[in-house]
Amino acid sequence: MAMKEMSIKGIHRCGKARRTALILDSSAGWKLWIALTREEAHRIASELKTEGNHPACRCYTNSLYALIEGLLSPSGIGITSVILDASGGDMVVATVKMRVGALDTAETCHTADALALAIRLRVPVFATETLARLVEAKGARSRQDPLPTDAEAAPWLDRIKPTDFAQ
């Protein structure tokens, strides 16, 4: 199965839509936006701060991901990567790949939690070809940029007059 490596760019909060998303970039130039609940955004933001050597939020000083890391390390279990795949509609499913000695195994995981683990453990994130095609097709159907292009705005700018704004 062909995979594309993704890099985590950060969290975006849209005040207008009151939604938060984790933004991932592919080497092919497309972006993947993972919608987050408030709690997921808080946990991931805390992991991003920890990765950047900034203090994490006090309520996540003993994070779930630190606990998982602490349980896996002494057992010789290493998380090697996170795989993102399309799961019907706009859903993204995550699989956490692990290695125990010579044995490779994988478990599905809540997407936001898998990404937070990837951030904490600094493991690569990959998107399947299926997800890549879905994201590229959606991008071709609708632009994510809410602002009009210059060509779209030019006719409006030609017609607008200061009196249009007078009260």
Instruction: Specify burial of residue 18 (Cβ count, 10 A radius: 0-12, 13-18, 19+).
Output: exposed
Cβ–Cβ < 8 Å for 135, 129: no
With CA atoms as reference, report the closest residue to 32 among 127, 107, 111, 99: 127
Report the predicted TM-score, pTM, of the whole model to 2 decimal places. 0.70
Tokens of 15: 């005040």
- 157 forms beta bridges with none
Tell me the CB-side half-sphere exposure of residue 100, using CA atoms within 13 A: 6
Of 75-84, 89-98, 157-166, which range is least confident? Answer: 157-166
> Angle at Cα 37 formed by Cα 85 and Cα 5, nearest 5°?
30
3-165 sits in which CATH class?
alpha beta
Q: Where does residue 99 fall: left (phi above 0), alpha (psi -120 to 50 degrees), or beta otherwise?
A: beta
Q: What is the pLDDT of residues 103-125, one digit of tens each?
A: 999 999 999 999 999 999 999 99
SS3 83: strand
* Close Cβ partners of 119 (under 8 Å, ≥ 6 residues apart): 8, 44, 47, 48, 51
pLDDT of 91 above 50: yes
Q: How much is the pLDDT for 113? A: 93
Q: What is the pLDDT of residues 10-40, one digit of tens each?
A: 888 877 767 888 999 987 788 888 888 888 8
